Amino acid sequence: MSARRIFAFSTISALVATLAMGCSSATTEEEEEVSVDDITPESAQTVWALAELCDGNITRHSAVKAQETAQGVVRWQCGDREGVDGELDRGQEYCEYMAISDGKKVTTAGQIVKGKPLQCLFTSVYSDVDGQTRFDQNGKNTYSGAIDGELAQALSSKENLNATVDPKLVRMKGQFNTRGAATTLIRDSINLSVDKGKSKELAYVRAAACYLASKTANPETKAKLKAACERNGLATSKNWKVAEGLGAKVAAANTPGYEEQQSMYSCMSVNRLQNGGVDWRMSDPHITEIVVRASLECGCKYDALPAALPGFLQGTWSAADKLPPGCRRAKLKDGTESQQLTICEIPATRVAELENDFDYGENLSKLCNDTFGKDIVMTAPARAVEKPGTCTLKTASAFCADWTKGAK
């Protein structure tokens, strides 16, 4: 559940906001106090809308597909996707970010300390990094353990942020940005094997095939395919025959169209997970896609993420060990570079423009997301937690042939 925020509006403004965003409100004579969820995209209401979300997700991450299969990792965009616009909802992808001036978090141009640089801090340190998860009423982790002070001290050094940093800024705060949540997502993806061959799996495979058929169909047939397939009843022969008559076809293993079909089906499986996944995120659907394919097709099994991993690794689209221009890894007290803390510099010329920038000047988190976040790419080291000898189905698909080359 997203944290909730309280906004005060004039009566007219609140009415407009209520009509536009569907917010609930409590009215007084002087003003309306409107309690709203932070702004995030809506989850798919139909299996067709789910396929559309996955289509975009798969396309976005096609750039790292070769890296993933060669290295046995899962990689996804750190920055939030379009539609995540609430300040408290920033950082939905096991990666959170904020603008920093003089060691403090700032959200508007007016808060930038004159004469001090403006930087963006990206953290992927799990909120339960040390096993502690104490959340307040707004869903924020309020535990302050030894690692927070240690990392804040490192960030305060001259070579990092060169200012005293509040320890509360170093670990992620979202309830979903935990090692436990990531482990559950992986476990639930593997556990979908219990549905293998059953109607629930068949319905999703057919929905994926139907959506993919529509991509090459003429407009009239595409509309008919959507009408036939957006209902989640494709497990029945009667409903599926209608789709087949319009050109939909489930591809057999190692035949044309099978790879695209399996990636789509596996991504869509994010909405079948026992403990739920969020279909509009960059992370959940993509992690589900790779783990479902690796486990159900290739036979791979995985252990829980180790306590020694404080958070997913940060890199860029071209390589897991690189960062976008203008960014650097924070130096830790032992002289090593952090894989979970990245500092990106906003040029002074850009900072000078922010006072008159009515978009980014009032939302510095968005500035960080759009300037750097979409080029910072997370890495989950799947092969590091792979159970030896489990990836045995090497010829089940082209994906498995590539994924299992470096298997334990």
The predicted-structure confidence for 354-395, as pLDDT tens digits, reads as follows 999 999 999 999 999 999 999 999 999 999 999 999 999 999
176 within a domain of the structure (yes/no): no
Q: What whole-number distance in Å separates Cα of residue 107 and Cα of residue 230?
A: 41
pTM score: 0.85
91 within a domain of the structure (yes/no): no
Do 197 and 272 have their domain in common? yes
Residues in the chain with pLDDT < 50?
1-37
Alpha carbons within 13 angstroms on the beta-carbon side of residue 237 total: 0
Provide the pLDDT for residue 30: 36
Do 140 and 286 have their domain in common? no
Do 292 and 228 have their domain in common? yes
Do 244 and 104 have their domain in common? no
Do 209 and 356 have their domain in common? no
Provide the pLDDT for residue 136: 66
**Phi, psi of 366, deg, nearest 5:** -65, -40
229 within a domain of the structure (yes/no): yes
Do 55 and 110 have their domain in common? no
Counted residue by residue, the chain has a size of 408
Do 228 and 130 have their domain in common? no
167 within a domain of the structure (yes/no): yes
Q: What whole-number distance in Å separates Cα of residue 212 and Cα of residue 206?
A: 10
Provide the pLDDT for residue 82: 83
338 within a domain of the structure (yes/no): yes
The predicted-structure confidence for 229-254, as pLDDT tens digits, reads as follows 987 689 999 999 999 999 999 999 99
Q: Is 181 exposed, middle or buried (0-12, 13-18, 19+ CB in 10 A)?
A: buried
The H or E element containing residue 97 is: strand 96-101
Contact, 343 vs 119, CB < 8 A?
yes
61 within a domain of the structure (yes/no): yes
Do 274 and 329 have their domain in common? no
Structural domain harbouring 122: 96-171+325-371
- Neighbour count for residue 188 (Cβ, 10 Å): 20
Q: What whole-number distance in Å separates Cα of residue 92 and Cα of residue 37?
A: 14
Q: What whole-number distance in Å separates Cα of residue 30 and Cα of residue 10?
A: 8
Contact, 181 vs 272, CB < 8 A?
no
Q: What whole-number distance in Å separates Cα of residue 367 and Cα of residue 344?
A: 11
Provide the pLDDT for residue 109: 97
377 within a domain of the structure (yes/no): no
Provide the pLDDT for residue 132: 61
User: Checking phi first, is residue 83 left (phi over 0); if not, alpha (psi -120 to 50) or beta?
Assistant: left
Provide the pLDDT for residue 148: 86
Do 210 and 341 have their domain in common? no
Do 217 and 347 have their domain in common? no
- Which amino acid makes up residue 120? C
Do 270 and 354 have their domain in common? no
Cβ neighbours of residue 45 under 8 Å, at least 6 residues apart?
Answer: none
Contact, 376 vs 123, CB < 8 A?
no
Task: Give the residue from 2, 372, 374 showing the smallest Cα distance to 174.
Answer: 2
Do 300 and 197 have their domain in common? yes
Q: Is 45 exposed, middle or buried (0-12, 13-18, 19+ CB in 10 A)?
A: exposed
Provide the pLDDT for residue 196: 86
- Order of all β-strands in the sheet with 327-331: 104-106, 96-101, 118-123, 337-346, 327-331
87 within a domain of the structure (yes/no): no
Based on the structure, what is the number of domains in the chain? 3
Q: What whole-number distance in Å separates Cα of residue 201 and Cα of residue 355?
A: 53
